[in-house]
Amino acid sequence: MGARDPQFITVGKIGGERRIAVLKEDGAAPGLLWLSGFKSDMAGTKAEALAGFGAEQGREVVRFDYSGHGRSGGDFEAACVSDWLEEAQAVFDKFCTGSTVLVGSSMGGWIALLLALSRKETSRVKGLVLIAPAVDFTEELMWKQRFSEEIRQTILAEGRWAQPSDYSDDPYVITRKLIEDGRKHLLFGGPLHVGAPVTILQGARDPDVPASHAQRLVEALPQDDVTFSLVPDGDHRLSRPQDIELLLRAVAEVSES
């Protein structure tokens, strides 16, 4: 099987199955599991850089696309946080063979935290590296902050709203299902304990996930070893060469700790 040919696994109960595309490179532990952002996939700049780094270091690297994303099956508008978390758990359980560093970008940061908490008893999560972690973004960043009353009423009445995107010609469709399901997975509201070191990389000029949101996560992890790095001129993507260098350095430090 070529490096670019994904494996596929089926996730979900009968009637709700999704065909999920997974790329795995074998290697030593601790391995690396990439968790993409909302409407992003495993072929992005940071994901490819992480895969290249893993190959150089001889580490296991696992990537996958959420349902409705990239090379996976499923309808994006029918999907929600519960689905994407279930897929992350299935990939972690099946493909990550030992101690693993979870690397999550934007929404992937939220998924990484939920995954780490759900698999805490396994002691296989070596650490987390989170890039602009969009924790609780459906509620805190969308519903409460960015959506006007008109937008909220449209979502409630019509079940969806097409949000213009700065990153694609196609709009992001935000569904009522996504918002309501997101409320089942909210992490803010009390202290969290992941039980593994957490590194957060955040751009000070991020228009999508404010630095104050990432700082809130730092404060929500009082029992964990947390490193917070603020990139003064960094945007949301943090995909410039210097940003990638920072990411790979952070991954190396967590892997070797």
Length in residues, the chain: 257
| 191 prior amide bond cis, ω within 30 | no
Q: Which of 3-12, 47-56, 221-230 has the lowest mean pLDDT?
A: 3-12
Beta strands (DSSP E) in the chain are 7-11, 18-25, 28-35, 59-64, 100-105, 125-131, 160-163, 172-175, 198-203, 226-231
**Gap between the Cα atoms of 199 and 252, Å rounded:** 11
Domains with residue ranges and CATH for the chain? 7-136+190-256 (3.40.50.1820)
Q: How confident is the model at residue 4 (pLDDT cuts 50, 70, 90)?
A: confident
From CA 218, how far away is CA 252, in angstroms rounded?
A: 21
| Lowest mean pLDDT segment, chosen from 65-74, 75-84, 160-169 | 160-169
DSSP per residue over 189-243, as a string?
TS----SS-EEEEEETT-SSS-HHHHHHHHHT-TTS-EEEEEETT--SS--SHHH
| Residue 147 in this model has a pLDDT that exceeds 60 | yes
pLDDT at 1 exceeding the cut of 50: no
Backbone angles phi, psi at 13, to 5 degrees: -80, 165
Residue 146: other Cβ atoms inside 10 A: 13
Give the whole-angstrom CA distance, residue 119 versus residue 96: 12
Share of the chain above pLDDT 70, in %: 98
Q: How far apart are CA 205 and CA 66, in angstroms?
A: 27
Q: For residue 167, what pLDDT band results from cuts at 50, 70 and 90?
A: low
Q: What is the pLDDT of residues 190-243, one digit of tens each?
A: 999 999 999 999 999 999 999 999 999 999 999 999 999 999 999 999 999 999
The Cα–Cα gap between 30 and 54 comes to 10
Give the separation between CA 242 and CA 229, rounded to whole angstroms.
Answer: 13
Q: Per-residue confidence at 15, pLDDT binned at 50, 70, 90? A: confident
Q: Nearest to residue 129, comparing CAs of 47, 69, 19?
A: 47
The token duo for 94 is 């099946």
**Is pLDDT of 120 > 80?**
yes
pLDDT band at 2 (very low <50, low <70, confident <90, very high): very low
pLDDT at 50: 97
Average pLDDT over residues 71-97: 97
CA distances from 102 to 76, 139, 144, 171, 173 (A): 23, 23, 28, 29, 27
pTM: 0.95
